[in-house]
Amino acid sequence: MFGGTFNPVHLGHLRAAEEVMELLKLHRVMFVPAFSPPFNKTSLVPFEHRMKMVRLAISGNSAFTVSDVESRITGRSFTALTLERLKMSRSKDRFFFIMGADAFLELPKWYRPERVLELADIVVLMRPPLDIKALHKSPLIHKDDKKKLIPGDGRSKISLRTYSSGRRIILLRTTPLDISATRIRSIIRRGKSAKYLLPERIESYIISNKLYM
């Protein structure tokens, strides 16, 4: 499961999903756009547009899917509740929740982070400008495991214990891509080109629907 606002989806998300799938030999990556993000977000376009953009971006990749589950849950979009819902119909599946290091550092402030950790292994991806040392700040990683977080040790996969459950936190060193939706929105607002930061079809969709202008 790859949750996010996807406002809009970009190549940072898509490349991350591809590399996670390959490194962990997953069967599928399910993109789950947040319907009503708990933390206030600037320039959030309606859910339908964000869904459509993800749909366009993943078309042609049969291992990538998108779910509108969060639009069917009343109230705020809390990952703990979304995972519970997804598990109901897929009780035999093993779940991994994919997140960038920036989001992982915020996880303790989420609704019931310990529940998220019970329901899924957490896959953390490095994301510029953060480096591996930034993760030392996370209270979710067991203190004995912090010594594994050394810059430049070259491993692409580091497995860590958690305090709150038997699940793992898996740190992956995927290709660092310093692309963010915030920067893309600002480029569009200024009428500049966002080419090569996101799929061409998504930029066209944004322009023809006058999003982020």
Q: In which region does residue 43 sit, left (phi positive, over 0), alpha (psi from -120 to 50) or beta (all else)?
A: left
User: Binding to ligand ATP (CB under 6 A): which residues in 93-132?
Assistant: 99-100, 102-103, 125, 127
Query: Least distance (Å) from ligand ATP to the CB of residue 212?
Result: 11
According to the binding rule CB under 6 A, does residue 211 interact with ligand ATP?
no
Helix-, strand-, coil-residue percentages of the chain, each rounded to 5: 40, 15, 45
Nearest to ligand ATP of 103, 207 (CB atom) = 103
Q: List the one residue from 61, 159, 182, 204 that touches ligand ATP (CB under 6 A).
A: 182
In the complex with ligand ATP, the residue whose CB is nearer, 12 or 199, is 12
The full DSSP string for 49-86 is HHHHHHHHHHTT-TTEEE--GGGGSSSS--HHHHHHHH
- If you search the block for the tokens 């897929």, which residue do you land on? 90
Longest dimension (CA), the chain: 52
What is the nearest approach in angstroms of ligand ATP to the Cβ of residue 144? Answer: 26
Binding site for ligand ATP (CB under 6 A): 4-7, 12-13, 16, 99-100, 102-103, 125, 127, 177, 179-182
